[in-house]
Structure 1
């Protein structure tokens, strides 16, 4: 591994020594001013600095990232006259530390690796040399369907059907996990990929063992045959909501299968050095206002601003009172507000969440020590970086809201829900309505068996429905079912409904898919699974 900027150093945490590539070496060389760079850009810069080899990642690439400014440079007059581009953001390479995939988009990538092995074998080579060069995790969650619901054994029955339905796929993945190095499969019934990533897979600061020969001059000591390299966790995933991990301070976003495969094989992605929009948060959420209400408000604001192909980075005193799970909810919906990612720098809340989710003391100590040494740790008194543009939101101004209709950015305040929904039924389709006639609004349809013409007795229940009736009630999504406050709220609503004798209409398909086994566990310990089950929301 090259050290073209003389930035390699040793960081000792406890008894362990780690090799790091110091960002402040670039500042000492006059190439950047770290405190002015957004935290997200600093992480991208470290990845380029550490992996700079003057081939895939050049010294000029490192200098381009280090020279990031809030506004892109204007093209020189000569370039304009000659019709050349000459200005704007430069292209940069980015090689993340790992890849995460879900089963729908990840299986084809594994098939391609298997095909490459077959091709190498046909050419007389060693197929075992074909392996991912970075850690790859495939989480099985998307293909599991809700065939059974409102029964106590719904989860096991749905999983059984899933294994029968996709037996060949599971046999292939089992082979792949044994055959490939750096490849793990997380089985179904474990949770939603993004929550599993947040709770278990993400490291925040990654480590990698390297032989001492990799380094031109070994900084730890010639007596050591191996060194431990430490660097920020970065990830790309084959799902647009990979951005949920930004809430943990991990830089990452969703990509296509080809891009993910390229990273798996050690090839950096090409991208433009992005603009970074700063989103300042102040105050605290009012009692009864949830992270869902907040993210819908943020989405509405950012869609109006226009943040496509940009990084969004959150800052301000509001972060000091915001839980990490609320941050993850906001980061999750980066695709909905159009940004490449919605990033929250690592701070004390990040460390608290790591302890809560069972990360080791050694891991947490390394995370804090490394990020502080690199200027990547945010404190409440840390100076705000410079941004391309900024927005601001007082968290105390957020009100209970719903998404839609049809698009999440079309947020509806709960107080306006009834009137807004009624208008949507008759509004033109081009205005995101359903364009129903006045006659259609009064039309009824019978659900269930009608009375027999001979006996006049109903063969089971028969219920009439009109337009606007709720027929699917699903407590699921990678955004909502991963947030404790939102899930506990759902459980408390169910508890109150049962106490008041309320029931779910028989034509409503109910389902509950918690974001992870941990989410299921705290619902169970809170005594809220039983009332949810009584209303048909069985796990």
Structure 2
């Protein structure tokens, strides 16, 4: 990813150190253009990439001018190319990417090309972190048992990934048990400044996980893309992106001593959702930024997908350099990082207002106004002050079914269900906490909240408090460093006594790998139709995600997770009600055990030290003995096993020829699903456990598997037959055809209600195309490529929605599914669409970006929609039938 030959900007290249002319950089300050110093720092990264990679083919001088002229071009839907310095993957999204690479090698060979051309050009790191589940907890050997079970379940996937690490150049695999991808990225993989092939340049990346944005907290520009798009970047293609607006988010003031970074981030998330930043960059500035640690900034950046922005950027400053030093980066790197960034005016002093660039608009937050808060019960942007939690939950209980409602009749609000657990009697009510998990990249990277949780646990134990044994408690740190400092500071034992022992290193409860609840608890919840609660320090709480038996799920800081676990319910006002009583019958309030910011910082200064990071990361790639002993195939072409139910050659490229077929209009399509607003990728993409009555379960049973061997959808992302059957299989999917939540639809020709896949298969067998109707924010949530691949395999030719989440729209384009958008003011309701009509969508020639097309119904009605191919490059992909088809044809050319 170094400079190109015959670059028209070669005249601004100079050595960073005159004594070493072999180490050069593009000195953007020598452009002699006053516009440069006014650009947002995030846009400067895009500009440097365009200048360094300018070859007048993929990246042109006119692209450089468009970026330099950002102040005017930001509102003009100008397309620019961006070549990130690297790509990062996790195993859920990484396995299908490697499967695609393996299948692309087969396809290139069939077309007469060299299969080894399918190889990452751009460096790629894959961290195996999404496979582990909380099957065991509350025991000293829970970690080992969960890791053993993870390996037993996923051996085949792990062997496949190990094959990929050998078969493909430029691909590094971080083995299971190492931590969460984003925390490993922050603490270990991030370069901040690359020193490669004789050039210095800013670190930047795209990743196949929407929370890739966490790295923006360290001043490394990055965001999540679909797995399909990431594969193209790995193969050397620049990302085609619309030059974004940049919202300046000004922070001022100092948070009070009882506020955590989680409180700040949930406040920012709600604020930016209200502001409206979808498709934009957010760049933080102002004196308040210097009050935040890198871990605090990373927590805010991590939640970027939850407020809808593309990136949430904190430019590098002295605090960033101190963090790099704290996490064990060597002095030589720190020296050239600082020197390079200052030379190109990318080093920030947040207290120096003369450095403040131009922004599209500015919004502000005074940190002194932040109060302790949670978020929920169904969306991360629905912030609730902790002082309002009790009243808010109670209002949600009776409110109409929706994001803030469960529609429980008033006479059932006080339902109590007795049950017996471990030979003792307990009672569950609405709001009872049954899952309490310190989990996910959002917070486990942050020593202040993790140590805060540990100190609160210590004080709780000293006050004689405990957590009821039926509550599923867990601690899944983002890296081994967390365990290290929790032990060294002496708080780990107290966490263990409350049930929060380490159960695994990976993304667990937040993605639905919460494991089973005790059977008596499930029976009580079912018997009373209870709205039971999960409280987790994650970033996602969408319906059906955490656990099917927790209908209310709240995001909270690690200390608050413990607090609600001790209380046993979210129906508590901590200001007025005690969190519990000690053995002497004395009431204990949360304020009695809550640690102050000063207490936490003192422990952090003493125990979070560079040697910990060095010790953990020096052996990260070799420490897992079971991984080391895995034997993988050595062939350059993968030897597919037709009996495998994990890894299967996908049908995406079957019958692919070098000749392009002209795009076809869609005639007389049926509507497979009629959906409303905020349909997330959790609703679309297969995730979590495979239900025993599902289409995917029937398929696995037909292959000789018993229910205990189904594993999760995430673990089977390398098998298209399972994933196609799991698409739209979420029990919380609300389909207007049925007017209720269910993973089903109506096969319109026969009026039969059936599983979505079964209906789709019947349509496919009849040769009938399909479309989906949807409302606003279609495809919000994680950047799951299967949310596009699954509908493609179900025969979906187009989606008609009021608006799209950025990554999901891009993924649909990448699979050749047409994203259509109602015109402003139009919707299914305003147009009187029932979904029972048959739809003809006329695709004209030639196609142009964002053009209007006609939709004709069999009722005689016609209306127009906008075709959301936003750039010429996206149209090129569509003409090829998708981005991977395009790459195969390109790589097969002699």
TM-score normalised by structure 1 residue count: 0.89
Q: Cα distance, 1:339 vs. partner?
A: 0.4
Question: 1:447–1:507: 8 Å Cα contact kept in structure 2?
Answer: no
TM-score normalised by structure 2 residue count: 0.54
- The alignment status of 1:186 with 2:174, answered yes or no, reads yes
- The alignment status of 1:425 with 2:425, answered yes or no, reads no
| 2:211 matched residue in structure 1 | 241
| 1:159 matched residue in structure 2 | 147
Partner SS for 1:445: strand
Whole-Å separation in 2 of the counterparts to 1:280 and 1:70: 22
Q: CA RMSD in A?
A: 1.8
Go from structure 1 to structure 2 and tell me whether the alpha carbon gap of 1:431 and 1:362 turns closer, same or farther (over 3 Å shift): closer
Go from structure 1 to structure 2 and tell me whether the alpha carbon gap of 1:13 and 1:497 turns closer, same or farther (over 3 Å shift): farther
Whole-Å separation in 1 of the counterparts to 2:428 and 2:134: 23
Equivalent of 1:203 in 179, 183, 191:
191
1:440-463 alpha-carbon deviations (Å, 9 max, x no partner): 2222223336xxxxxxxxx82232
Partner SS for 2:240: strand
- The alignment status of 1:497 with 2:497, answered yes or no, reads no
Q: Cα distance, 1:331 vs. partner?
A: 0.4
Equivalent of 1:267 in 237, 261, 270:
237
Which consecutive residues of structure 1, in runs of 5 or more, have no partner in the other structure?
Answer: 74-87, 210-227, 450-458
Whole-Å separation in 2 of the counterparts to 1:403 and 1:24: 44
Q: Cα distance, 1:347 vs. partner?
A: 0.5
- The alignment status of 1:22 with 2:27, answered yes or no, reads yes
Whole-Å separation in 2 of the counterparts to 1:318 and 1:393: 9
Whole-Å separation in 1 of the counterparts to 2:480 and 2:165: 22
Question: 1:191–1:516: 8 Å Cα contact kept in structure 2?
Answer: yes
Question: 2:377–2:403: 8 Å Cα contact kept in structure 1?
Answer: no
1:62-94 alpha-carbon deviations (Å, 9 max, x no partner): 110111106746xxxxxxxxxxxxxx1311111
Deviates more, 1:256-265 or 1:400-409: 400-409
| 1:482 matched residue in structure 2 | 445
| 1:58 matched residue in structure 2 | 60
| 1:49 matched residue in structure 2 | 51
Pairing of 1:272-287 with structure 2 (within 5 A): 272-287=242-257
Q: Cα distance, 1:313 vs. partner?
A: 0.2
Go from structure 1 to structure 2 and tell me whether the alpha carbon gap of 1:431 and 1:376 turns closer, same or farther (over 3 Å shift): closer
| 1:79 matched residue in structure 2 | none
- The alignment status of 1:401 with 2:373, answered yes or no, reads yes
Whole-Å separation in 1 of the counterparts to 2:144 and 2:175: 13
Deviates more, 1:361-370 or 1:62-71: 62-71
Whole-Å separation in 2 of the counterparts to 1:260 and 1:181: 16
Go from structure 1 to structure 2 and tell me whether the alpha carbon gap of 1:69 and 1:527 turns closer, same or farther (over 3 Å shift): same
| 1:213 matched residue in structure 2 | none
Equivalent of 1:134 in 113, 122, 132:
122
Q: Cα distance, 1:514 vs. partner?
A: 0.9
Question: 1:279–1:391: 8 Å Cα contact kept in structure 2?
Answer: yes
| 2:101 matched residue in structure 1 | 113
Whole-Å separation in 2 of the counterparts to 1:363 and 1:13: 17
1:474-528 alpha-carbon deviations (Å, 9 max, x no partner): 0112112111111111111211221222221122111100111111111111111
Structure 1 segments of 4 or more deviating over 6 A?
Answer: none
1:288-310 alpha-carbon deviations (Å, 9 max, x no partner): 10100001111111111000000
Equivalent of 1:329 in 294, 299, 305:
299
- The alignment status of 1:353 with 2:323, answered yes or no, reads yes
Equivalent of 1:147 in 125, 131, 135:
135
Partner SS for 1:430: coil
| 1:460 matched residue in structure 2 | 423
Which consecutive residues of structure 2, in runs of 5 or more, have no partner in the other structure?
Answer: 503-894
Whole-Å separation in 2 of the counterparts to 1:178 and 1:190: 20
Question: 1:106–1:257: 8 Å Cα contact kept in structure 2?
Answer: yes
Partner SS for 2:57: coil
Go from structure 1 to structure 2 and tell me whether the alpha carbon gap of 1:409 and 1:120 turns closer, same or farther (over 3 Å shift): closer
| 2:310 matched residue in structure 1 | 340
Q: Cα distance, 1:15 vs. partner?
A: 5.4
Whole-Å separation in 1 of the counterparts to 2:18 and 2:87: 27
Question: 1:13–1:366: 8 Å Cα contact kept in structure 2?
Answer: no
Whole-Å separation in 2 of the counterparts to 1:256 and 1:431: 26
| 2:600 matched residue in structure 1 | none
Go from structure 1 to structure 2 and tell me whether the alpha carbon gap of 1:14 and 1:433 turns closer, same or farther (over 3 Å shift): farther
Aligned residue pairs: how many? 495
1:346-396 alpha-carbon deviations (Å, 9 max, x no partner): 010110000000111111111101111111111232521000000111111
Whole-Å separation in 2 of the counterparts to 1:16 and 1:328: 36
Go from structure 1 to structure 2 and tell me whether the alpha carbon gap of 1:124 and 1:274 turns closer, same or farther (over 3 Å shift): closer
Question: 2:379–2:403: 8 Å Cα contact kept in structure 1?
Answer: no
Q: Cα distance, 1:148 vs. partner?
A: 0.8
Deviates more, 1:61-70 or 1:45-54: 61-70
Question: 1:70–1:386: 8 Å Cα contact kept in structure 2?
Answer: no
Pairing of 1:376-387 with structure 2 (within 5 A): 376-379=346-349, 380-381=351-352, 382-387=354-359
Deviates more, 1:320-329 or 1:272-281: 320-329
Question: 1:70–1:387: 8 Å Cα contact kept in structure 2?
Answer: no
| 1:313 matched residue in structure 2 | 283
Pairing of 1:294-313 with structure 2 (within 5 A): 294-313=264-283
Partner SS for 2:444: coil
Question: 1:13–1:369: 8 Å Cα contact kept in structure 2?
Answer: no
Deviates more, 1:273-282 or 1:476-485: 476-485
Question: 1:71–1:388: 8 Å Cα contact kept in structure 2?
Answer: no
Partner SS for 1:106: helix
Q: Cα distance, 1:122 vs. partner?
A: 5.5
Whole-Å separation in 1 of the counterparts to 2:402 and 2:163: 49
